């Protein structure tokens, strides 16, 4: 469908240039009680990213527990909402995988989703692997990208972002285990598939509302 002039105009700023998709202003909220200049945030962030990319002690680096308290919501409700996504779309299938993992981790509910409409891509990738990567490096690289992108800033502090990432990491690890993390020729691909699932759902309105609901500490 062609783009209309009116639709294009809505993407422009007052000076006629493109509006930024996302902007970060100083100071940066490191925690609920501490805000710091960007140059100091960048120094601290560098150490976090370096540790995440290394793939060792991801939970220790995030320094946050998964499934923090939510304001006005329960994690079981979040799980139910995602498990109730219907339809043949890949996003709906990913939401059900995510909801199943939440349900299992929270109260050991048995998973229901086994549909993988994207499977051919990961099966093809597995056949092309020469040197498998460790799953924790796959997870760590993804987490580092999430931190570096600064897309967590509209939701609150970096401490809050750590709790959100710790939650999605726990979900990703559970999904990877269900997929097949039993041998080195497939566990890195399973980790990559799990990252795809949690990354897609992490950008949905449903999950963004969860991120907003995480209580600051």
Whether the pLDDT of residue 187 is over 90: the answer is: no
Alpha carbons 157 and 110: distance in angstroms, whole number? 34
Q: Rounded CA gap, 101 and 108, in Å? A: 9
- Give residue 55's pLDDT: 93
56 prior amide bond cis, ω within 30: no
d(Cα 10, Cα 174) in Å, to the nearest integer?
41
Distance CA 137, CA 57 (A): 10
Compute φ and ψ for 98, nearest 5 degrees: -60, -45
Q: What confidence tier does 82 reach under pLDDT thresholds 50, 70, 90?
A: very high
Whose CA is closest to 213, among 82, 60, 20, 75? 75
Read off the pLDDT of each residue in 41-51 and give the average, rounded to a whole number. 97
Model confidence at 217: pLDDT above 90: no
Residue 13 banded pLDDT, cuts 50, 70, 90: low
User: What ranges do the domains of the chain cover?
Assistant: 5-213
Write down the pTM of the prediction.
0.88
- Residue 24's alpha-carbon distances to 15, 184, 212, in angstroms, are 20, 40, 17
Alpha-carbon gap, residue 150 to 169, rounded angstroms: 17
User: Which pLDDT does position 22 carry in this prediction?
Assistant: 78
pLDDT of residue 203: 93
Average pLDDT, the chain: 90
Express each pLDDT in 84-131 by its tens digit. 998 889 999 999 999 999 999 999 999 987 889 998 888 888 777 667
């Amino acid at each position: 469908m062609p783009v209309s002039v009116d639709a294009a105009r809505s993407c422009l700023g007052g000076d006629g240039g493109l509006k930024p998709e996302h902007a970060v202003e100083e100071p940066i909220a490191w925690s609920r009680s501490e805000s710091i200049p960007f140059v100091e945030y960048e120094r601290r962030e560098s150490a976090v990213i370096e540790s995440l990319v290394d793939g060792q002690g991801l939970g220790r680096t995030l320094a946050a527990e998964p499934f923090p308290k939510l304001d006005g919501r329960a994690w079981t409700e979040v799980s139910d909402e995602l498990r109730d996504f219907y339809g043949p779309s890949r996003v709906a299938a990913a939401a059900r995988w995510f909801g199943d993992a939440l349900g299992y981790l929270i109260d050991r509910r048995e998973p229901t989703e086994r549909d993988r409409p994207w499977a051919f891509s990961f099966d093809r990738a597995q056949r092309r692997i020469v040197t498998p990567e460790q799953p924790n490096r796959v997870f760590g690289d993804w987490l580092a990208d999430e931190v570096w992108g600064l897309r967590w800033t509209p939701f609150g502090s970096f401490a809050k972002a750590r709790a959100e990432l710790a939650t999605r990491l726990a979900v990703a690890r559970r999904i990877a285990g269900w997929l097949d993390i039993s041998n080195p020729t497939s566990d890195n691909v399973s980790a990559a598939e799990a990252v795809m699932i949690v990354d897609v759902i992490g950008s949905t309105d449903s999950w963004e509302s969860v991120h907003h609901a995480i209580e600051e500490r």
